[in-house]
Structure 1
Amino acid sequence: MSSEWGRIDDAGTVFVKTADGEREVGSWQAGDPEAGLAYYIRRYEDLQTEVALLTKRLQSGAGDAKATKSQAMTLHASLPTVAAVGNLAALDTQLVALITAADAKMGEQAEAREAAKAGAIAKKEALAAEAEAIAETSTQWKAAGDRLRTIVDEWKLIKGIDRKTDDTLWKRFAAARDAFGKRRGSHFANLDTERETAKSIKERLVAEAEALSVSDDWRETADALKDLMGQWKSAPRANRSTEDALWKRFRAAQDAFFERRSGVFAERDAEQVQNLKEKDAIIAEAVALDVSDPRHAQVALRDLQERLEAIGHVPRDAMPRVEARMRAAEQRVREALDAEWKRGATESNPFLAQLRERLAEAEAKLARAQASGDAGRIAKAEADVASRKALLPE
């Protein structure tokens, strides 16, 4: 019994047809020769199916090219001795094509792996460079520390780098991370020192403020407290809890002083307002003095002046007005005294009395001349009045 690609003889020996002639592939002693030949044909078909599956998986990308080539080469090497009946030459051609395709795919995959490797190396180099930049310049200690921890997680997800390169890059990253840790540790050590220094400075400022809070030297103490506030602002900060506690004490000392000063000033202001009312009343008396008797007015003024001096301070903005009104009243009495003195001096001098009488006569003649309307008489009378006025003292 025979088929297109093989036969089975009467003894049960099975042959396959090849380009080099027939080749014995096995024997069938189990019964029907047709079944025996069909068995070896099915084995060929299984080989066909296996080759077709390998080809399809390679083309789809689901199959590994290297493994596919290995399987294809194994199958190809088995063809000269394979126990199967079918078109072995066609199968050989398919396997050669599959091996060639696997080689090409392996080349593509190698290029892809190299590209992926280069990309992975670039990513880790970028992460290492970022870590080095953080180590060198960053002062955002918490954010930078968090970022370095995130870099570790990102680093673990990057694959496809050879061990030597990966180890070299990891050493760069680890060195940068260690450098950042040392710089951060040094920073916080210095910060602790600065905070202790700040604590000492501000404890001293608090002690000074508390000592000044009981002072009654209002102006100098207020200036001193303002100076302490300036020192406080320019001093470094202690840690938050210490800073807050010291600030509360410092502020409380200032508040105690200024509240006490405000109370004293309020009491003093009320007293000065009352003083102003009293002084205004006394000045009103001085302004109303009767200066027709200058000597009596002078005595009364002296009494008012003594009463005025006995009253304490008035508000600063009222002082110019108070002083001006009192000076005016005093000037009025002085002018009355001066006028009385001049009158007395004139009346006790006979010569001056005579000059005044003649001046009065000259002024009477001038009046009569003016009444007559005679210009000559008027001019002569005016000249006579002027000459007699010139003889009198100021």
Structure 2
Amino acid sequence: MTTSQQSDDSQKTPSPQAVKPAAKPVAAQTVAHTTPLEEAAKFARVTEDGHVFVIIDGAEHPVGQYPDASQEEALAYFVRKYDDAFSQLLLLEQRVAAKAPAGEMGKNIDALAALVTERHMVGDIALLESRLETVRAAAQNLAADQRKANEAARAEQLALRESIVEQAEAMAAKRPEQIQWKTASAAMNELFENWKSTQRSSVRLPRATEDALWKRFRAARTTFDRHRRAYFSQLDSTNAAAKAVKEELIARAEALQTSTDWAATAAEYRKLMDEWKKSRRASRKDDDQLWGRFRAAQDVFFQARAAANAKIDEEFAANLVVKEALLEEARALLPIQDLATAKAKLDSIRDRWEAAGKVPRGDLQRIESALRQVADAVKGAEDEQWRRSNPETKARSNSMLSQLQDTIAALEDDLKAAEAKGNAKQIAAAQEALDARRMWLSTLEKSAADFE
């Protein structure tokens, strides 16, 4: 038996102890090729002593020897070798058609091509070689397409990673006092989750690139966390100082809350309120609590003052009834007919007004303003009477009347002289001057009548 045959026989009948069963790939189980012996006989010659030759393009190539067997058995043995190779080819074609990962396809094709080149099989070798070259070209195209797709996916993954890093670096570069920390912290956590999600992706970046991006991202997160800790540390200090100031204001407010010096204490509370508004805010929780205490201290005082005022107003209610009646009596003086009588009655009303005492605070301005209007009307009538009876004014008016009457008499003489001469120009000028003086005279006479 030849070396080739011994090798083939060992593959044909392996020892159970030498080879463990292995599960074939599902795809391989569905790929099978069987060449009929009649068809295979067209590509082979078998001698009586078991030598087998394969015919390729009219030329014979020795395949091997299968002694101690019929020619059909020898042929069938090497046909099975061909069928195995053809099944491997079909599997490769299916993987290419299914666009399976092309990483190992080239090696598998090379191995199958080397096996076919050895010619230890019987079948249509030319067809097998032709289809091998076709599947090799298809696998190469598939590998090229997959490389492009992988490169595009890596570029997309790189852009995504860089975007995450740049967002983190932008957040870390902001000044701490400009950051809304609750929102920013949630955003940074989301970026970290996105980073971990990208790491679970099937697309891998070069190790050096991924390490460099991770270092940048980690540095940005570290800076962000350091700024956050420093900010809140400073904020705690600021809040503590603001809280201390407001605690002091509360203590002063609580010390005043039992005072009955209503006016002075109310003014002091206004000062405290101004100081409170100018002071720094503490944390929202503390500030709300502090404001509640500060406001409560004021409420004690102002509620006590309101109760005291209410009691006083109740005592003054009877006084208000008296003054309301006096106000109606004062209003009855209008319009003024007799000034002397009106003045006397108003003086009497004023005396009784003062004697009536205080009225409730809410009515004070209204009722005082109403009486003042009556008093102003009486004062106005008095001023008008004085203006009419003023001796200086009357004397000045009489002097002007006398002078104007003398001027009119002179102008009448001028008019007569001009008429006697028949001088039209002089007549017109004298008449115009006379008419103007007579008009002034009429006005003065009416004014003088007002002083009578």
CA separation of 1:280 and 1:238: change in aligned 2, threshold 3 A: closer
1:175 Cα offset (Å):
1.5
Matched residue, 2:243: 199
State which drifts further: 190-199 or 212-221.
212-221
Matched residue, 1:149: 189
CA separation of 1:162 and 1:217: change in aligned 2, threshold 3 A: same
Aligned match of 1:25 in 63, 78, 85? 63
1:6–1:16 Cα contact (<8 Å) kept = yes
2:165–2:217 Cα contact (<8 Å) kept = yes
1:131–1:177 Cα contact (<8 Å) kept = yes
Aligned match of 2:82 in 44, 49, 58? 44
Q: Deviations over 1:25-84 (max 9, x none)?
A: 22223533212212211221221121122022112202x323111111111122232421
Matched residue, 1:385: none
CA separation of 1:271 and 1:87: change in aligned 2, threshold 3 A: same
1:280–1:322 Cα contact (<8 Å) kept = no
1:66–1:102 Cα contact (<8 Å) kept = no
1:127 Cα offset (Å):
0.8
Matched residue, 1:90: 127
Scaled by the length of structure 1, what TM-score is found? 0.70
Looking at structure 2, the residues matched to 85 and 284 of structure 1 have their Cα atoms a distance apart, in angstroms, of 139
Unaligned runs of 5+ in 1: 286-297, 329-394
Looking at structure 2, the residues matched to 323 and 43 of structure 1 have their Cα atoms a distance apart, in angstroms, of 132
1:111-260 pair list within 5 angstroms: 111-137=148-174, 139-158=179-198, 159-260=203-304
CA separation of 1:32 and 1:238: change in aligned 2, threshold 3 A: same
Looking at structure 2, the residues matched to 19 and 220 of structure 1 have their Cα atoms a distance apart, in angstroms, of 126
Identity of aligned residues (%): 36
CA separation of 1:82 and 1:146: change in aligned 2, threshold 3 A: farther
1:69–1:98 Cα contact (<8 Å) kept = no
1:199–1:242 Cα contact (<8 Å) kept = yes
1:222 Cα offset (Å):
2.0
Looking at structure 2, the residues matched to 125 and 257 of structure 1 have their Cα atoms a distance apart, in angstroms, of 64
Matched residue, 2:108: 71
Looking at structure 1, the residues matched to 150 and 328 of structure 2 have their Cα atoms a distance apart, in angstroms, of 111
Q: Match for 1:91: what amino acid?
A: L
Unaligned runs of 5+ in 2: 1-37, 330-343, 378-452
Q: Give the secondary structure class of the aligned counterpart of 2:52.
A: strand
Looking at structure 1, the residues matched to 230 and 157 of structure 2 have their Cα atoms a distance apart, in angstroms, of 34
Looking at structure 2, the residues matched to 85 and 160 of structure 1 have their Cα atoms a distance apart, in angstroms, of 45
Looking at structure 1, the residues matched to 210 and 246 of structure 2 have their Cα atoms a distance apart, in angstroms, of 53
Looking at structure 2, the residues matched to 73 and 280 of structure 1 have their Cα atoms a distance apart, in angstroms, of 122
Q: Give the secondary structure class of the aligned counterpart of 2:123.
A: coil
1:229 Cα offset (Å):
2.5
Looking at structure 2, the residues matched to 199 and 4 of structure 1 have their Cα atoms a distance apart, in angstroms, of 105
Looking at structure 2, the residues matched to 277 and 87 of structure 1 have their Cα atoms a distance apart, in angstroms, of 133
Aligned match of 1:108 in 145, 154, 158? 145
Q: Give the secondary structure class of the aligned counterpart of 2:282.
A: coil
Looking at structure 1, the residues matched to 146 and 327 of structure 2 have their Cα atoms a distance apart, in angstroms, of 115
Looking at structure 2, the residues matched to 33 and 233 of structure 1 have their Cα atoms a distance apart, in angstroms, of 114
Q: Deviations over 1:184-223 (max 9, x none)?
A: 1121112111111110111111112112222223233223
Q: Deviations over 1:281-314 (max 9, x none)?
A: 89999xxxxxxxxxxxx9xx99x96x97666423
1:327 Cα offset (Å):
12
Looking at structure 1, the residues matched to 46 and 211 of structure 2 have their Cα atoms a distance apart, in angstroms, of 65
Looking at structure 1, the residues matched to 182 and 206 of structure 2 have their Cα atoms a distance apart, in angstroms, of 33
Looking at structure 2, the residues matched to 135 and 249 of structure 1 have their Cα atoms a distance apart, in angstroms, of 39
1:283–1:326 Cα contact (<8 Å) kept = no
CA separation of 1:233 and 1:279: change in aligned 2, threshold 3 A: closer
1:113–1:160 Cα contact (<8 Å) kept = no
Aligned match of 1:4 in 42, 59, 68? 42
Q: Deviations over 1:243-292 (max 9, x none)?
A: 3432222111111111111111111112222234467789999xxxxxxx
Aligned match of 1:314 in 346, 356, 359? 359
CA separation of 1:32 and 1:218: change in aligned 2, threshold 3 A: same
Looking at structure 1, the residues matched to 131 and 327 of structure 2 have their Cα atoms a distance apart, in angstroms, of 134
1:14–1:37 Cα contact (<8 Å) kept = yes
- How many residues were matched structurally? 313
2:327–2:370 Cα contact (<8 Å) kept = no
1:337-352 pair list within 5 angstroms: none
Q: Match for 1:42: what amino acid?
A: R
Looking at structure 2, the residues matched to 13 and 40 of structure 1 have their Cα atoms a distance apart, in angstroms, of 11
Q: Give the secondary structure class of the aligned counterpart of 1:179.
A: helix
1:213–1:256 Cα contact (<8 Å) kept = yes
CA separation of 1:81 and 1:147: change in aligned 2, threshold 3 A: same
